[in-house]
């Protein structure tokens, strides 16, 4: 089997949406209620990939998972922060795919100059909690009754991870388009070797 991690393309939208759709329909992992249209989803990928890393994991050219970073908040002082998300086909849970995607994503975030990454999960979700703690996140708080879905209110737990040191003179943030593709290939290769 050929395993590959690469940057997402707009043409991947339909395959990525197929992975995301069950999380919207069948779980409270995503707080979306309606499945996005393919046009809306394509636009999201396009907007994200203009600045942030959005990567997919393929086995024999079939996308089985994806991870991406996005803007944390709007104000200029938040520039050094990102939110991160990851979704994997259920049959590949526990097989190391998510680890490889996160390792690659965080290698890219470090290279781009980001300092803090934030992730959230809907409680209870022991798998997500353990996964994020394993990847160096710390739990920083709970938003109580943050989202209403499937007939009830749900808490979300927020976590934080630091990719670069908190310098008093942080370097400028780079766009994903400003780093070499070779860097992604190197990160991807390192993760494939761990299979």
List 71's β-bridge partners, or say none: 82
Q: What is the pLDDT of residue 187?
A: 60
Burial zone of 118 (CB within 10 Å; 0-12 exposed, 13-18 middle, 19+ buried): middle
Cα 126 versus chain centre, distance: 18
Sequence-ordered alpha helix ranges (H) in the chain? 13-26, 38-49, 97-112, 126-134, 181-193
The CA-based diameter of the chain, rounded to the nearest angstrom, is: 48
Q: What is the pLDDT of residue 32?
A: 86
State which CATH number among 1.10.579.10, 3.40.630.30, 3.10.20.30, 3.40.50.2300 fits the domain covering 3-193.
Answer: 3.40.630.30
pLDDT in tens, 74-104: 899 999 999 999 999 999 998 999 999 999 9
Domain ranges in the chain? Answer: 3-193
CB 109 within 8 A of CB 53: yes
Please give, one letter per residue, the 3-state secondary structure of 69-103.
EEECCCCHHHCCEEEEEEEECHHHCCCCHHHHHHH
* pLDDT value at 195 more than 50: no
Mean pLDDT of 36-61: 95
Mean pLDDT of 36-41: 94
**Listed residue (178, 193, 14, 161) closest to 80, CA to CA:** 161
User: Backbone phi, then psi, for 53, in 5-degree steps?
Assistant: -75, 135
Q: What is the pLDDT of residue 150?
A: 86
Mean pLDDT of 50-72: 96
* Exposure letters 128-156 (e unless 16+ CB within 10 A, then b): bbebbeebebeeeeeeeebbebeeeebeb
Q: 25-39, 64-78, 82-96, 103-117: which range is least confident on average?
A: 25-39
CB 102 within 8 A of CB 137: no
């Amino acid at each position: 089997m050929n395993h590959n991690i690469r940057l997402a393309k707009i043409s991947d939208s339909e395959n990525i949406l197929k992975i995301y759709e069950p999380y919207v329909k069948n779980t409270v992992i995503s707080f979306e209620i309606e499945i996005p249209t393919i046009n809306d989803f394509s636009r999201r990928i396009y907007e994200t990939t203009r600045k942030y890393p959005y990567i997919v994991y393929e086995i024999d050219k079939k996308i089985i998972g994806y991870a991406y970073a996005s803007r944390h908040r709007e104000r200029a002082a938040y520039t050094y922060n990102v939110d991160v998300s990851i979704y994997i086909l259920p049959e590949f849970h526990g097989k190391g795919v998510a680890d490889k995607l996160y390792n690659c994503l965080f290698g890219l975030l470090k290279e781009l100059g980001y300092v803090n990454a934030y992730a959230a999960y809907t409680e209870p979700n022991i798998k997500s909690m353990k996964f994020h703690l394993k990847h160096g996140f710390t739990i920083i708080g709970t938003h109580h009754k943050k989202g209403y879905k499937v007939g009830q209110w749900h808490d979300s737990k927020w976590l934080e991870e630091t990719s670069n040191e908190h310098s008093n003179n942080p370097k400028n943030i780079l766009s994903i388009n400003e780093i070499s593709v070779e860097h992604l290939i190197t990160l991807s290769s390192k993760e494939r070797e761990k299979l």
